[in-house]
């Protein structure tokens, strides 16, 4: 079996080499030296995951560093009382699980597809070889980890707030984080139902919040999504 075929989990429905366009969409590749970039490109593989499937589940060992080429993912965990805590939405361009990969430990969270998604996978051995040989790759991971800590702190604050408008506003801002989602622009192609799954609110309550945020000039609702007009205000919304 070729190394590329071993790179992806069994849940993925296809396994193939990334296209040139897909490689171009992986922002951190462009920060590497040519030799390191070629090494990473040879190690990467991509595949499809269907809506509702889990790409990572709590308790499973890490075997790769994962990224999202296309689609939408949700990072969450289950509380002791059976309820779910949502940590983050993962839009295209996001890479995740670097902390778990660094420590070679088991996942402590679930990653579920909210729509059919294309996943990229860098095998764990290649991940650690790049850490050993590339200063540029180390910077990528360092910035990711630093931003992830801030994201989780904000996520915990957002999860505890009783103001649904604030939860929606801050969740939208998190989807546009320039470090964790470098491919995102101010236009989000996301349905209200998908937002509801990410945030943990009903679709109807998300709709009310979006209408209020639009009335305040922070977003503009569009067919199939929305356009963010004031990202700093969304991030600080209380």
- The pLDDT of residue 158 is 64
**How far is 75 from 57, CA to CA, in rounded Å?**
10
Q: What is the distance of C-alpha 204 from the center of its chain?
A: 25
Does the pLDDT of residue 5 top 60, yes or no? no
Question: Which of 68, 127, 73 has its CA nearest to residue 100?
Answer: 127
- Host H or E run for residue 29: none
Tens-place pLDDT, residues 52-61: 999 999 999 9
Average pLDDT over residues 87-115: 92
**Number of Cα atoms under 13 Å in the Cβ half of residue 81:** 2
Give the dihedral sign, CA 224/48/16/102.
Answer: positive
Residues 128-141 have a mean pLDDT of 98
pLDDT band with cut points at 50, 70 and 90 for residue 7: very low
Outline which parts of the chain fall under CATH 2.60.120.10.
Answer: 10-152
Q: What mean pLDDT is predicted for residues 85-89?
A: 78
The CATH fold assigned to 163-236 is Arc Repressor Mutant, subunit A (1.10.10)
Residues of the chain with CATH 1.10.10.10: 163-236
Q: Give residue 156's pLDDT.
A: 66
pLDDT at 106 over 80: yes
- Largest distance between two CA atoms of the chain: 56
For residue 221, give the H/E element and its range.
Answer: strand 219-222
Quote the pLDDT of residue 11.
60
Mean of pLDDT values over 82-100: 85
Q: What is the pLDDT of residues 156-204, one digit of tens each?
A: 666 666 689 999 999 899 899 889 999 888 899 999 999 998 888 899 9
CA dist 215 and 56 (Å) reads 38
pLDDT over threshold 70, residue 82: no
Superfamily of domain 10-152, CATH level 4:
Jelly Rolls (2.60.120.10)
């Amino acid at each position: 079996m070729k190394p590329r075929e071993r790179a992806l989990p069994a849940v993925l429905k296809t396994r193939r080499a990334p296209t040139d366009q897909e490689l171009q969409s992986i922002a951190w590749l462009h920060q590497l030296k040519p030799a390191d970039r070629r090494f990473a490109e040879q190690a990467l593989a991509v595949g499809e995951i269907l809506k509702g499937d889990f790409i990572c589940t709590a308790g499973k060992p890490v075997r790769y560093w994962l990224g999202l080429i296309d689609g939408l993912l949700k990072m969450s965990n289950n509380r002791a009382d059976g309820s779910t805590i949502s940590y983050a939405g993962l839009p295209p361009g996001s890479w995740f699980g670097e902390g778990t990969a660094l420590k070679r430990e088991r996942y402590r969270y679930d990653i579920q597809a909210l729509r059919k998604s294309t996943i990229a996978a860098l095998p764990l051995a290649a991940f650690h070889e790049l850490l050993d040989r590339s200063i540029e790759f180390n910077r990528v991971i360092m910035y990711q980890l630093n931003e992830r800590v801030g994201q989780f702190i904000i996520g915990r604050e957002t999860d505890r707030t009783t103001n649904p408008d604030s939860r929606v506003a801050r969740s939208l801002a998190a989807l546009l984080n320039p470090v964790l989602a470098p491919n995102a622009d101010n236009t989000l192609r996301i349905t209200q139902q998908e937002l509801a799954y990410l945030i943990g609110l009903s679709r109807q309550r998300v709709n009310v919040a979006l209408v209020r945020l639009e009335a305040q000039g922070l977003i503009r609702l569009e067919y199939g999504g929305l356009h963010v007009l004031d990202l700093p205000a969304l991030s600080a919304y209380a």
